[in-house]
């Protein structure tokens, strides 16, 4: 990732200070380039072993701008009543166009010790969960109906894109609750994850069947505001080939879960050229 003095984002726009090379072309000083996604996207739908309300490969779901078909189904295996030894493995993945993604795999498991010095009490364990799917209908209801919770570790390796965003889909019971998500690079990877690589959300139900997608983040658990509900979050600006996504759905009120994750290809960060 480039240093802030070289490249930065604001909202959903890239800002060029002097002259920026973007997709082979030049832009003028001060020109604002709309933030956009490329065609590549890989969706992983987490679920229990319940065979109901499942997405089939032709059904399109997800937030606007990055919705896709070919959601890869990942099923929890739950031999451990305490949750730490439960797991899920996925070694065959397809992108949103139905093309096989060579070398990519996904693992889910538990960890007893927190890697976060600021949150030493967090531990990570999970089961397959059934959610209410509040606020969604059709395919989006199916996407949120099942998930992993309350606190899985999701390991994603062999990500094929040079630059990408991670979309995390949340689900909650009828009482809602606060959730923590964070992304860390794996195996000493020199590439980076997003500057906004950890934050809290409050997930709750919305009016039935309205298909409203909303994302509001908080920097600490103390800031969580139940009136500012979310059902997804986006981690912008990643380049690491291997990442760990930590999720904790127990930080505020009831147990919650992560229902899906999406890797969405983006253009590489713009490079600003300074004239001295």
110-143 pLDDT, tens digit per residue, is 999 988 877 888 899 999 988 866 678 899 999 9
Element containing residue 237 per DSSP (H, E): strand 232-238
Q: Within 35-126, where are the H helices?
A: none
Residue 86 contacts residue 110 (beta carbons within 8 Å): yes
Instruction: Pick from 16-25, 52-61, 151-160, 264-273 the range whose average pLDDT is largest.
Output: 151-160
Residue 92 contacts residue 100 (beta carbons within 8 Å): yes
The pLDDT tens digits for 121-130 are 889 999 998 8
pTM of the model: 0.82
Share of the chain above pLDDT 90, in %: 43
The pLDDT tens digits for 57-90 are 999 999 999 999 999 999 999 999 999 999 999 9
Q: What is the mean pLDDT of the chain?
A: 79
SS (H, E, C) 19-35: EEEECCEEECCCCEEEC
At 229 the three-state DSSP class reads coil
CA dist., res. 80 & res. 57, Å (int): 30
Tokens of 25: 């072309």
pLDDT of 275 over the 70 cut: no
224 vs 166, higher pLDDT: 166
Band the pLDDT of 26: cuts 50, 70, 90: very low
pLDDT of 1 over the 70 cut: no
Residue 51 contacts residue 145 (beta carbons within 8 Å): no
pLDDT at 254: 66
The mean pLDDT of 237-249, rounded to a whole number, is: 91
Band the pLDDT of 196: cuts 50, 70, 90: low
- Report residue 232 CA to chain centroid gap: 8
* Number of other CB atoms surrounding residue 21 within 10 Å: 14
């Amino acid at each position: 990732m480039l240093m802030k003095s070289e490249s930065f984002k604001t909202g959903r726009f890239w800002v060029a200070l002097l002259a920026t090379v973007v997709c082979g072309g030049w832009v003028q000083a001060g020109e604002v380039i709309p933030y956009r996604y490329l065609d590549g996207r890989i969706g992983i739908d987490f679920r229990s072993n319940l065979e109901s309300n499942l997405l089939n490969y032709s059904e399109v779901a997800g937030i606007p701008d990055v919705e896709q078909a070919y959601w890869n189904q990942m099923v929890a295996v739950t031999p451990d009543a305490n949750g730490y030894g439960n797991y899920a493995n996925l070694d065959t993945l397809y992108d949103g166009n139905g093309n096989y993604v060579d070398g990519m795999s996904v693992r889910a498991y538990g960890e007893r010790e927190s890697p976060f010095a600021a949150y030493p009490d967090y531990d990570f364990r999970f089961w397959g969960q059934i959610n209410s799917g509040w606020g969604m209908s059709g395919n989006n209801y199916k996407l949120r109906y099942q998930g992993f919770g309350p606190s899985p570790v999701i390991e994603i390796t062999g990500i094929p894109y040079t630059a990408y965003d991670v979309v995390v889909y949340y689900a909650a019971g009828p009482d809602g609750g606060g959730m923590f998500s964070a992304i860390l690079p794996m195996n000493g990877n020199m590439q980076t994850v997003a500057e906004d690589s950890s934050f809290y959300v409050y997930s709750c139900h919305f009016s039935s069947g309205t298909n409203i997608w909303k994302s509001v983040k908080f920097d600490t658990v103390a800031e969580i505001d139940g009136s500012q509900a979310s059902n997804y979050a986006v981690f912008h600006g990643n380049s690491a080939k291997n990442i760990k996504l930590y999720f904790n759905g127990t930080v505020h009120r009831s147990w919650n879960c992560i229902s899906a994750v999406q890797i969405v290809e983006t253009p590489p960060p713009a490079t600003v050229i300074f004239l001295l």
